Amino acid sequence: MISYIIRRLLYAIPILIGVNIITFVLFFVVNSPDNMARMHLGMKHVTPEAVQQWKHEHGYDKPLIYNAQQQGAKKLTDTIFYNKSVKLFAFRFGQSDSGRNIAYDIRQRMWPSLSIALPTFMVGLLLNITLALLLVFFRHTYIDFWGVVTLVVMMSISSLFYIIGGQYLVGKLLHLVPISGYGEGGNVWKFLILPVVIGVVSGIGGGTRWYRTIFLEETGKDYVRTARAKGVSELRVLFRHVLKNAMIPILTGVVVVIPMLFMGSLILESFFGIPGLGSYTIDAINKQDFAIVRAMVFLGSVLYIVGLILTDISYTLVDPRVRLE
């Protein structure tokens, strides 16, 4: 398994280089260094000299990818692409174009994101699986029928509606928790409860239907029929046998997102004023801060690759027939 993981990690290098090149090209197709300078210098009294000065100071006065005026390897290394990208592979994100240390900002902002995403993910997963198993348990009854109808309705509603509706009902009308904000220490729970509940509820429709489909497929298999024939109770059949055998498709969808959890949720964090990473990339794109954009895209790619490797590893844990070679 170790050699498999090493091989997968080595495969990741060309992928990450490719991601870097694509990010670089896409960013600079839309934004030129002059545009970036003007954006950072503000709207008033921006002179051409000030633009040149900004580019010089931030290293954007070099050619983008190929420096024809240099000799030898410097033709490639004395460029914006090389200077801004190569340190990423050592996870040295450097300073943002506005002067902030990116790694420090990420470390600061990932915890609030995690404090929302992790409970939302865990509670949501448990609840969705439990509800799905219960619907399967009550299949062909009015609970199953109305349950599925409710799920379809729930998954048809925009997550924005859950957020605004939840804030309106719980925060504004019932005055139960602060409508937005973020606390510290023991105070933090009252700010988290509403976004977590909304995050969980908004995911119930799609999640539960997905797991219900998986479980229904499993319940038609021979081992379930055998278990029932042996007199195993229906609850035990579902929560022990069916659940265990449905782990592969569940893990495929679940494990890959675990490393991404700390990247946060843009809309949820924005509406609840959570100081997380959700809006970090979007804000950077709007402010044309290439340093942050490339760092976050790189980090996202790394985490996704890690998620995929973890998924593969998790298969071996739930299914002894799977071997990573």
Among 81, 121, 162, 191, binds other proteins (CB under 8 A): 191
Q: Does 50 bind other proteins (CB under 8 A)?
A: yes
Among 4, 27, 53, 123, binds other proteins (CB under 8 A): 53
Q: At 95, phi and psi to the nearest 5?
A: -95, 145
> Residues 201-240: x/- map of binding to other proteins (CB under 8 A)?
--------------------------------xx------
Q: Which stretch binds other proteins (CB under 8 A): 1-9, 13-21, 165-173, 251-259?
A: 165-173
Give me 212's structure tokens.
Answer: 């219900």
Give me 162's structure tokens.
Answer: 């859950």
Q: Does 44 bind other proteins (CB under 8 A)?
A: yes
Between CA 147 and CA 253 the distance in angstroms is: 23
Q: Which stretch binds other proteins (CB under 8 A): 38-46, 118-126, 216-224, 239-247?
A: 38-46
Q: Does 182 bind other proteins (CB under 8 A)?
A: yes
* Least separation in angstroms between CB 143 and other proteins: 4
CA geometry: angle at 272 spanning 164 and 277, to 5°?
A: 130
Between CA 280 and CA 293 the distance in angstroms is: 9
Q: Does 42 bind other proteins (CB under 8 A)?
A: yes
Residues that bind other proteins (CB under 8 A): 30-32, 35, 38-42, 44-50, 53-54, 56-57, 95, 98-101, 104-105, 108-109, 112, 137-138, 141-143, 146, 164, 167-168, 171-183, 187, 190-191, 233-234, 270-273, 275-276, 279, 287-288
